[in-house]
Amino acid sequence: MPTDKTIPRSLDTWLKQLDEVRLPIATHHHETVRRTLLDSRKSLREIADQMQESPAIALAVLREANRSTSSFSEPAESLEMALNRLGLKRAETLLSQMPVQEESQIPLPLRQLQLIGLHAAQQASGLFAGRLARLWQEIHWGSLLFLAPLWPLVATYPQFFETWERRVLGRGEPACKVERELLGVALPALCLALARHWRLPEWIVQGYRLLVEDRRLLVKALHIARDNEHPLHQQQQLDEDTALRRWLTQPGNSILLANGLALSSHHNWACEHHLRWQRLTGLYLHVALPELQQLVHQQAAQSARQHDLPGLWHPAEALIWPWDACRLKDLQPPAPPAPMANARLDQWKQHCAKLLTQPTPFANVLQLTDSACQALTASGMQRVLVLLVDRNHSRLQAQQVAGLPTAAAQLRLDPAQSQVLRRLLAEPGQLRLSPTNMAQVSALLPGSLKALFSGEHLVLRSLASNGRVVMLLVVDQGGGEIGATPLQVFGKTVQCIERALATFARRGT
C-alpha cells in the first residue's frame, strides 16, 4: 500500500500506479495451484479450472501471456491459451513471485469484487455458453475477468469500494460525480485504459469501450428493452435500426450483460438498475422477462453453492428475503444518533467513576482495558477496538473489542507498515476520518483494520502513560456520522481512561 504518495488525480498517473500493483493471493489457493502445476497428469483445462478459484492468479497468467507475445499477435482469450503460450514452467515461476497472504488479510473489498466476478462467470455460463458453445471459453474467462481493472484499485484503496457503494447505490448520487470526486477520473475510462494496457481479451475492451465511447448505442438498446411485454414491437424497432440490431447480436455482449446482472443484484434484486440489465439480457436472448428472471435466479443459486466464501456477501442469499429488501441497511443514509438515554448515561458514569478511582481498582491491564471498553460502549460508540502497544512500538495487539467479529480479538498490526499508525504512536493524538479525508487517509491504514470498520466516519485516538504512547483506541458509530455531542462524550471518556492509566502506572509506589 502507498504511504507517502498522494492519490492520483489523472488517468496517466492512475494507470502507472495501478499497473505496478501486485495482487495478493490466498495461501491455500497458492498451494493448491502449485501442486496442480507440478502434477504431470493434469491437462491445461484442469489447471485452468483450478486457477479460476483464485481470479488474481488467472489474471496474472493472462496478463503475462499477453505481455510476452508479439504486438502483432491477438491477445489470449482464455486461460488455456495463455498457459499454452507461457508454458507450465514459466507459469510456476510467475506463481512463486506473487505475494501470498492469509485469506483474512486480503482486503475485503478485493475479495468481494472477485466473488462478483465468479458470480458473473456462472451467469454467463448458464445464460450464454450453451447457446454459443464454440465460444464458451471466451465467454467464461471474459466474464470472470471483466472487473479485473478494478482489483488493483480496491486492493490499494479498499475504502473506495465501500464509499462508492454507499453513495451511489445507497444514496443515489450520480456515479460519474462520485468517481470524479474520489478519483479525479471516471471509473469506466480508467478500466478501459487498463484493459487496453494489459491487453485483456478483446471482449472486455469492447465492453468498456461501449460504456465510455458509445453509450448512445447502449441507451437505445435499453429503451427498446423496456417494452418487454411486446416482443413483436421490439423486433420491429430493431429492424428499423440496422446498426443496433447488428450490435445486439454480437457474442461479446454476453460478458457485459453477465457482469451487469451480477453487479446490480449485489445490492438489490428488485432495484431499477438490476431490472434494466434483466430486460436488456431478455432482449439479447429473445426471452420473456419472467423466464429470464427464473434463469438468473437459478444461476445465482448455483454460484452461491460453488462459492460459499466466509465473510463475503452473495446475492443469492437475498432471494429468500422480501422482494424489495436491500442488502445493507447502512447503504441508506444513517439516522442521526439518539440522545444518550438515562440508563446508558448512568452506566457510562459508573464506568468512568471506576476508571477515576484511586488507588486503582484494577489488578492487571486486562481489567483496566475491559472497563475502558465498556465505558466507550456506554458512551455511544457501537464498534470499539482497544489495542496495546509493545515497548518497542513495533506491534499493536488487540486487547478488547466490542461490536466487531470475534476474529478482531486476534488482530495484530505492524506500525511500520502505516504512516498514520507511526504518527499516532509517536505522540498522543486523535485522527477523525470523514468523507472529506477518508479516501486519502484510508490508503495509509492497514487493510485488516479497514476491513473491520466499514463506513465513512471513524476516530483513532492514541493514549500515553508517563510520556509514552501505550494504547490506541479505534471507535465509530456503525460507520455513520458521529455528531458533536458523541464526540464530546468520547473525549471525556478518553480523559478518564488516561487518568486510569496514570493511576495504574503508580500502583505500589
Same domain, 91 and 159: no
Q: Where among 71, 105, 139 does a domain terminate?
A: 105
Average pLDDT for residues 450-456, to the nearest whole number? 84
Average pLDDT for residues 73-95, to the nearest whole number? 90
Same domain, 286 and 419: no
Instruction: Indicate whether 336 belongs to any domain.
Output: no
Instruction: Indicate whether 211 belongs to any domain.
Output: yes
Residue 330 has pLDDT above 50, yes or no: no
DSSP 44-79: HHHHHHHHTTSHHHHHHHHHHHHHHS-TTSPPP-SH
Residue 2 has pLDDT above 70, yes or no: no
Q: Where among 52, 74, 105 does a domain terminate?
A: 105
Contact 197, 209 (CB under 8 A): no
Contact 490, 381 (CB under 8 A): yes
Strand pairing class (412-413; 396-402): antiparallel
Same domain, 97 and 115: no
Same domain, 120 and 187: yes
Q: List the grid coordinates of 232.
A: 413483436
What's the CA angle centered on 208, arms 436 and 181, to 5 degrees?
Answer: 10
Higher per-residue pLDDT: 339 or 354: 354
| Burial grade of 322 (CB within 10 A; 0-12, 13-18, 19 or more) | exposed
Separation of alpha carbons 3 and 417, rounded Å: 8
Instruction: Give the pLDDT confidence score for residue 198 in this predicted structure.
Output: 94
pLDDT tens digit sequence for 174-201: 889 889 988 999 999 999 999 999 999 9
**Percentage of residues of the chain with pLDDT beyond 70:** 93
CATH of the domain at 500: 3.30.450.40
Higher per-residue pLDDT: 339 or 15: 15
pLDDT tens digit sequence for 14-56: 999 999 999 999 999 999 999 999 999 999 999 999 999 999 9
Same domain, 468 and 435: yes
Among residues 505, 433, 408, 432, the alpha carbon closest in space to that of 464 is found at 505
Instruction: Give the pLDDT confidence score for residue 329 in this predicted structure.
Output: 44
- Sorting pLDDT into bands at 50, 70 and 90, what band is 154? very high
Higher per-residue pLDDT: 371 or 130: 371
Q: Which helix (H) or strand (E) holds 325?
A: none
Instruction: Indicate whether 43 belongs to any domain.
Output: yes
Among residues 169, 349, 140, 354, the alpha carbon closest in space to that of 273 is found at 169
Same domain, 285 and 360: no
Same domain, 66 and 152: no
Instruction: Give the pLDDT confidence score for residue 327 in this predicted structure.
Output: 58
Q: Which helix (H) or strand (E) holds 474?
A: strand 468-476
Separation of alpha carbons 416 and 425, rounded Å: 11
Separation of alpha carbons 421 and 444, rounded Å: 8
DSSP 180-208: HHHHSS-HHHHHHHHHHHHT--HHHHHHH
Same domain, 96 and 129: no
Contact 457, 41 (CB under 8 A): no
Instruction: Indicate whether 495 belongs to any domain.
Output: yes
Domain of residue 95, residue span? 25-105
- Sorting pLDDT into bands at 50, 70 and 90, what band is 342? low
DSSP H helices, 330-393, are 342-356, 365-378
- How many other C-beta atoms are found inside a 10 Å radius of the C-beta of residue 377? 21
Contact 91, 83 (CB under 8 A): yes
Higher per-residue pLDDT: 487 or 438: 487
Residue 294 has pLDDT above 50, yes or no: yes
pTM reported for the whole predicted model: 0.67
Contact 194, 204 (CB under 8 A): no
Query: What is the average pLDDT score of the chain?
Result: 88
Average pLDDT for residues 228-256, to the nearest whole number? 91
Residue 453 has pLDDT above 80, yes or no: yes
Separation of alpha carbons 413 and 209, rounded Å: 41
Separation of alpha carbons 480 and 274, rounded Å: 26
Instruction: Give the pLDDT confidence score for residue 68 in this predicted structure.
Output: 67
Same domain, 118 and 235: yes
Among residues 362, 429, 452, 384, the alpha carbon closest in space to that of 158 is found at 452
- Sorting pLDDT into bands at 50, 70 and 90, what band is 317? confident
DSSP 387-417: EEEPTTS--EEEEEEESS-GGGGG-EE-GGG
Residue 321 has pLDDT above 90, yes or no: no
**Cα 151 to the center of its chain, rounded Å:** 9
Residue 335 has pLDDT above 70, yes or no: no
| Helix 202-213, helix 253-265: angle, nearest 10 | 70
Same domain, 101 and 166: no
Instruction: Indicate whether 454 belongs to any domain.
Output: yes
Residue 236 has pLDDT above 80, yes or no: yes
Same domain, 228 and 296: yes
SS3 (DSSP) at 311: coil
- How many other C-beta atoms are found inside a 10 Å radius of the C-beta of residue 67? 11
Average pLDDT for residues 466-482, to the nearest whole number? 90
Instruction: Indicate whether 411 belongs to any domain.
Output: yes
Q: List the grid coordinates of 449.
A: 483494520
Instruction: Give the pLDDT confidence score for residue 1 in this predicted structure.
Output: 34
Instruction: Indicate whether 404 belongs to any domain.
Output: yes
Separation of alpha carbons 66 and 345, rounded Å: 63
Same domain, 34 and 118: no
pLDDT tens digit sequence for 194-220: 999 999 999 999 999 999 988 889 999
User: What's the half-sphere exposure (Cβ side, CA atoms, 13 Å) at 84?
Assistant: 11
Instruction: Give the pLDDT confidence score for residue 331 in this predicted structure.
Output: 47
- How many other C-beta atoms are found inside a 10 Å radius of the C-beta of residue 104? 16
Instruction: Give the pLDDT confidence score for residue 76 in this predicted structure.
Output: 87
pLDDT tens digit sequence for 99-153: 999 988 899 899 999 999 999 999 999 999 888 888 999 999 999 999 999 999 9
pLDDT tens digit sequence for 396-435: 999 999 998 888 888 999 998 888 999 999 989 999 988 8
- C-alpha distances (whole Å) from 80 to each of 72, 77, 122, 309 are 20, 9, 18, 25
Domain count, the chain: 3
Residue 69 has pLDDT above 80, yes or no: no
Separation of alpha carbons 13 and 292, rounded Å: 42
Instruction: Indicate whether 392 belongs to any domain.
Output: yes
Q: Where among 302, 329, 356 does a domain terminate?
A: 329
Q: State the DSSP code for 386.
A: E
